[in-house]
A and B are shown apart, each in its own frame.
Chain A
Amino acid sequence: MAELFLELLSEEIPARLQIDAREKIKLSIEGELRKKEINFQSSKAFSTPKRLVLIIDGMPTKIEQKKKIIKGPKVDAPKAALDGFIKSNNLKKSNVYKKKIEKGEFYFSETSSETIDVLEQLQTIVPRVIQNYSWKKSMKWSSNELSWARPLKSILSLFNNKVINFNFFHLKSENLTFIDGPKDEIVKKVSSFKSYLRLIKSQNIILNQEERKEIIIKKMENICVTKDFEKKFSPKLIEEVVNLVEKPHVIICKFDEIYLKIPQEILIVNMQQHQKYFPLFDNNHKLTNSFLLVANLADKKGYIKIGNQRVIEARFSDAQFFWEKNKTQNLVKQVSKLKNLVFFNELGNFYDRTQRLRKLASIISGQMNLSKEKIEIAASVCKADLISDLVGEYPELQGVMGKYFAKEQGFDDDVALAISDHYLPVGANSPVAKKPISLAVAIIDKIDLLVGFFGIDQKPTSSKDPFALRRTAIGLLRTITENKIKIDLKELINYSIITYEEQNIKFTNKIIFKEVLLFLKERFKNILKDKKIQIDIIDAVITSHRSDDFLVLNEKCQIVHKNINKDVCKDIINSYKRVSNILGEEKANKDEDDFMSPESLLFKKEEEKNLFDKINEIRKYFSSTRNNEKYDLTLKMLAGAKPVADSFFDNVIVNDENLDIKKNRIALLKMFCKTYNNFIDFSKVEGG
């Protein structure tokens, strides 16, 4: 058994590119080996910023390819096809014969058994795989034609301890690698993966990323245990840091406590995003002035610790300067400065935007029965932090900074919270705004965005959504449904259009309301689909309901979904389908679609009368519960008509000889469907 060992040595490759390369190159070599029927026992890929290593173990050095019969092209295919068949399979012409099978007459041939040398195969497989790998971001260097993530320095490529010889652009595969010497790099000959590992170990390099991860986490946890910190680290940052170092050394550092007075989001962004440090929290989850740093070498003289502490303090002192300055800048006064901040060319600046939000605020406060004054204030100042130095420096803290400024300046807590939370949800897993003022501003903010971009026909296409309108729509729907908010979207959207018109913003789209609502419904369908609700139920709910009340749509979907396989739904659908089948036949016979009310004088049978009464009972139910309909009761109500409907069908023949009676019965059935469609369009629901 032999091993395939590949090392691609380069200058430092960014973490995410490294991870992608090590995974994909491994998969691709495995695929090629399988294609050639070359077995292997295990395959592993490792990487450090400079080294990308692949090790495939338990491979045969030779494989016997048994005789087998292979099928070629049709006999009447062009001659080139036959030539190609012979050439690509390395056949002798005399061994090719014709044979008729079901699909026609084809060429066939038996391949001769042969011994394949795996090393030879690898000489084409390995270069092909590395050439076919395409980096998400790549570059050229010097005068070379090769594109790689960062300059590729050498290729070490061994099989069964022999070099797999190939050329790759300006490079040639070898049995050599480079390690850092005290002054220059040292070239080292490598005979096997085992000897390579020894060499790497002597350099204190940990090749295996999983091992590095374990070491880092273990060291960090140890420090936390001994020093009483919370053992909680961002998994995303761990993943990144693991791939930024090859000789991990965890160092605990400190900064001056006075900086803890700065809002902690600023401190955390600086430590995590900018410096790749792990902030430490005490066991009450409070941020402390200690942090962990993962260095790439041991801090023999303590320079690394002092240096990093100085860097973070310099960053904090910068932030503190801005914090002191920004927190005293009155948010209300800042609003007029938003005139200098363009929102979008055709949609005005951010000042215009907040003025529109302010107007929408008064509408939504009425709808939600909230303090008009508070929502208006929140809406006016919710973007004011965008021109602060701190948001300029840390754009990811938009909203959060505004919240802090507002608190410093004595705004009400719920107004302050609305400044940060109106951006919610910020992603699929992010929570939505929860507090009334926050969610009111979140809703009107999203409506203003949707209406604006739809108004100037900057709608998302199937592949592009540069203004993240899909996310905005989903955020809007989630905010409404998860908080169970009753609002009148129609009024809000139409008023939003007016607020744009009042600012003389020219809209090219003349059917904004229709399009926005359709867009929301599409998004809504997707949300429900993601919740594994059957598409036919979603369709039934959405098409029946003419209003824009997504809260109702959502709840109806949920209740039908929950009950679709229970008797209550089965009964409803069963009755409904019986009725609609008859109507369907009748419709096919005559093109008669106008609706007339059934006339009780024309009822000939008791069952007709009973059904009519039942339908009226249901109609009464719907009109009496208009605003507080309980959907489980509705289902029960609808299902309750089954015995009456059954007995109608058992005893009444719709197709009566007397045309008036027949028409009257059809009218009765139409009334039945129409009444049921008050809830959802049951004709769309499958099964029953």
Chain B
Amino acid sequence: MPRKKNKVNPVSFQDTILNLQKFWGNYGCVILQPYDMEVGAGTFHPATTLRSLGPKPWKAAYVQPSRRPTDGRYGKNPNRLQHYYQFQVIIKPSPENIKKIFLKSLSTVGINHQENDIRFVEDDWESPTLGAAGRGWEVWCNGMEITQFTYFQQMASIECKPVSVELTYGLERLCMFTQGKSNIFDLIWNNNGVKYKDIFYQAEKEYSAYNFEFANTESLIKNFNIAEKECKSLLEKNLSLPAYDQCLKASHIFNLLDARGIIGVAERTKFISRIRELTKGVGKNWIESQK
């Protein structure tokens, strides 16, 4: 919240990331780097999707740049971007006191839960392409959603046992709150005067044009088919990780096609089920490889 009275600079975007990394690093999480492919959310990083499967314990945290082509607004909307950052924490099995730990993590980025109204609002998460489902909440801070808090029940169409907990902080939302901004582009990136707009405004404009107007749909469809074929052939060779990369590719291509508005409702369902079949295969294959 705005800290007019004690005049401390609000935590910058990059310091928010550093604070969260430090906090979760101290907790015992492996601090990973973003996955090097286009994905729609931190959940798609194999450190979450694949590692949440099977019996082995796992703790990790990382930033994931996320792309949602349909959310592009040519940089004109103060709240929506086609490219943004998530801070992702995944812990298996879910610790008993995870809610408390989460609240503590908020205080490291400047949100005190005794002064702000933190609410856990029902939100059962589902990802049809990942064949994933979970139970949990959107975490609200004074009415703004800042985190998605989910207990995975199913991933890659496989039941999660033990259950992982996933915390997904929306970094822009979080910082808009802590920095008291109502426009994403006004966010303070560092303490040397660099703003979010300086880094991303042009990208939002150009990618919105690409996503909505100029992405070549014919070649996208071709590429989708290639990725699907490649994934299947890699699965035959039991190479679950490279096969998973092909799922991610297919998934992002689908999102682009969606943004181009050329997918009807019926086709949509077909595309989604094709991707889900792929992730299902990868999930099975990966679990086998862990034995």
Chain A residues with a Cβ under 8 A of chain B: 11-12, 14-15, 49, 137-143, 150-151, 153, 182, 184-185, 244, 275, 293, 295-297, 299-301, 303-304, 306-308, 310-314, 317-318, 321, 340-342, 345, 349
Which single residue of chain B is at the shortest CB-CB distance from A339? Answer: B264
Query: With a CB–CB cut-off of 8 A, which chain B residues contact A244?
Result: 119, 121
Which of the residues B114, B177, B264 comes within 8 Å of A342, measured between beta carbons?
B264
Closest CB in chain B relative to A395 CB, distance in Å: 14
Judge whether B288 is part of the interface by a CB distance below 8 angstroms.
no
Do B115 and A301 touch (CB < 8 A)?
A: yes
Query: A481–B264 Cα gap in the complex (Å)?
Result: 38
Query: With a CB–CB cut-off of 8 A, which chain A residues contact B78?
Result: 314, 317
Do B93 and A185 touch (CB < 8 A)?
A: no
Judge whether B8 is part of the interface by a CB distance below 8 angstroms.
no
Query: A139–B137 Cα gap in the complex (Å)?
Result: 13
Given contacts A143-B93, A314-B78, A318-B77, contact A150 B135 (CB under 8 A): yes
- Residues 245-291 of B contacting A (Cβ, < 8 Å): 261, 264-266
Query: With a CB–CB cut-off of 8 A, which chain B residues contact A321?
Result: 76-77
Do A142 and B142 touch (CB < 8 A)?
A: no
Q: A318-B80, A321-B77 are in contact. List 15 more A-B contacts (CB 8 A).
A: A14-B122, A137-B135, A139-B151, A142-B94, A143-B162, A151-B151, A244-B119, A301-B115, A303-B1, A307-B141, A307-B142, A308-B142, A308-B143, A312-B143, A342-B265
Which of the residues B96, B143, B163, B182 comes within 8 Å of A275, measured between beta carbons?
B143
Query: With a CB–CB cut-off of 8 A, which chain A residues contact B115?
Result: 300-301, 303
Judge whether B234 is part of the interface by a CB distance below 8 angstroms.
no
Judge whether B79 is part of the interface by a CB distance below 8 angstroms.
yes
Query: A24–B118 Cα gap in the complex (Å)?
Result: 29
Do A311 and B153 touch (CB < 8 A)?
A: no
- Residues 119-173 of B contacting A (Cβ, < 8 Å): 119-122, 124, 134-135, 137, 141-144, 151, 153, 161-163, 165
Query: With a CB–CB cut-off of 8 A, which chain B residues contact A153?
Result: 96
Closest CB in chain A relative to B212 CB, distance in Å: 13
Given contacts A307-B1, A321-B77, A342-B265, contact A296 B119 (CB under 8 A): yes
Which of the residues B116, B163, B265 comes within 8 Å of A307, measured between beta carbons?
B116
Judge whether B237 is part of the interface by a CB distance below 8 angstroms.
no
Judge whether B2 is part of the interface by a CB distance below 8 angstroms.
yes
Fill in one digit per residue for B84-111: 1 if any A CB lies within 8 Å of its CB, else 0.
0000000001111101100000000000
- Residues 172-187 of B contacting A (Cβ, < 8 Å): 177, 180, 182
11 contacting pairs across A/B (C-beta < 8 A): A12-B122, A138-B135, A139-B135, A141-B94, A142-B95, A143-B93, A143-B163, A185-B97, A301-B115, A306-B142, A308-B142
Closest CB in chain B relative to A141 CB, distance in Å: 5
Which single residue of chain B is at the shortest CB-CB distance from A12? Answer: B120
Closest CB in chain B relative to A636 CB, distance in Å: 58
Query: A297–B153 Cα gap in the complex (Å)?
Result: 32
Do B177 and A307 touch (CB < 8 A)?
A: yes
Which of the residues B2, B80, B118, B124 comes within 8 Å of A306, measured between beta carbons?
B2
Do B153 and A140 touch (CB < 8 A)?
A: yes
Closest CB in chain A relative to B198 CB, distance in Å: 22
Judge whether B117 is part of the interface by a CB distance below 8 angstroms.
yes
Query: A151–B261 Cα gap in the complex (Å)?
Result: 41
Closest CB in chain B relative to A247 CB, distance in Å: 10
Q: Which of A142, A306, A349 has the most CB of B within 10 A?
A: A142
Which of the residues B118, B142, B162, B264 comes within 8 Å of A311, measured between beta carbons?
B142
Which of the residues A11, A138, A306, A342 comes within 8 Å of B120, measured between beta carbons?
A11
Query: With a CB–CB cut-off of 8 A, which chain B residues contact A312?
Result: 143
Closest CB in chain A relative to B112 CB, distance in Å: 9
Query: With a CB–CB cut-off of 8 A, which chain B residues contact A306?
Result: 1-2, 142
Which of the residues A139, A303, A314, A349 comes within 8 Å of B142, measured between beta carbons?
A303
Given contacts A143-B93, A318-B77, A321-B77, contact A49 B120 (CB under 8 A): yes
Q: Which of B79, B93, B134, B144 has the most CB of A within 10 A?
A: B144
Which single residue of chain A is at the shortest CB-CB distance from B57? Answer: A143
Query: A667–B162 Cα gap in the complex (Å)?
Result: 84
Which of the residues B76, B94, B117, B134 comes within 8 Å of A296, measured between beta carbons?
B117
Query: A311–B114 Cα gap in the complex (Å)?
Result: 19
Closest CB in chain B relative to A240 CB, distance in Å: 10
Query: With a CB–CB cut-off of 8 A, which chain A residues contact B182?
Result: 310, 313-314
Query: With a CB–CB cut-off of 8 A, which chain B residues contact A150?
Result: 135
Closest CB in chain A relative to B82 CB, distance in Å: 15
Which 8 A-B pairs rank lowest in CB-CB distance, beginning with the nearest? A307-B142, A14-B122, A139-B135, A342-B265, A308-B143, A12-B120, A143-B162, A311-B143
Do A141 and B151 touch (CB < 8 A)?
A: yes
Do A304 and B95 touch (CB < 8 A)?
A: no
Which single residue of chain B is at the shortest CB-CB distance from A387? Answer: B261
Query: A313–B180 Cα gap in the complex (Å)?
Result: 13
Query: With a CB–CB cut-off of 8 A, which chain A residues contact B79?
Result: 314, 317-318
Query: A307–B122 Cα gap in the complex (Å)?
Result: 20
Do B100 and A184 touch (CB < 8 A)?
A: yes
Query: With a CB–CB cut-off of 8 A, which chain A residues contact B177?
Result: 307
Which single residue of chain B is at the shortest CB-CB distance from A142? Answer: B93
Query: With a CB–CB cut-off of 8 A, which chain A residues contact B142?
Result: 303-304, 306-308, 311
Query: A139–B153 Cα gap in the complex (Å)?
Result: 7
Which of the residues B77, B161, B162, B264 comes within 8 Å of A340, measured between beta carbons?
B264
